[in-house]
Amino acid sequence: MKHPKLHTIVFAVTLTVSVGLVVAGFLVPPMGIIDGSVLTAVGELFAFAALSQLPYVVSHGKGITLNHGNTSITVGRHKHPVPSDDDEDVDPC
């Protein structure tokens, strides 16, 4: 049996804490209202969970693009598409 890798453990912990925060938001006074700070914390935990997956994704030859507003970060892919044999007139640079 394989042991879980660090990125899997980080993802599981952040997911568990995030779900716990959302559930706790319904159980503490005022009942049924989730404060904006809890939603912010959950969003940040999910972001860290996604970032913990980057080394795994890149090591398996895949890429990921993170977008926020006007900012876009691509990891693990070519910036410009690599031309195929069908694209005879395309300059890759």
- Using only C-alpha atoms, the chain has a radius of gyration, in whole angstroms, of 20
Residue 90 falls within a domain, yes or no? no
Residue 92 falls within a domain, yes or no? no
- β-pair partners for 73: 66
- Specify the DSSP class assigned to residue 61: T
Residue 32 falls within a domain, yes or no? yes
How far apart are the C-alpha atoms of 19 and 28, rounded to whole Å? Answer: 15
Residue 91 falls within a domain, yes or no? no
Question: Each residue of 2-47: pLDDT tens digit?
Answer: 666 777 888 888 888 888 888 887 788 877 777 788 888 888 888 8
- Range of 26's domain? 6-75
Instruction: State the chain's mean pLDDT as an integer.
Output: 76
Residue 25 falls within a domain, yes or no? yes
Helix ranges (DSSP H) in 1-93? 6-27, 36-52, 54-59
The whole-number pLDDT of residue 86 equals: 55
- Give the count of domains, the chain: 1
Residue 88 falls within a domain, yes or no? no
Other beta carbons within 10 angstroms of residue 39's beta carbon come to 13
Question: Each residue of 45-68: pLDDT tens digit?
Answer: 888 887 777 777 777 777 778 788
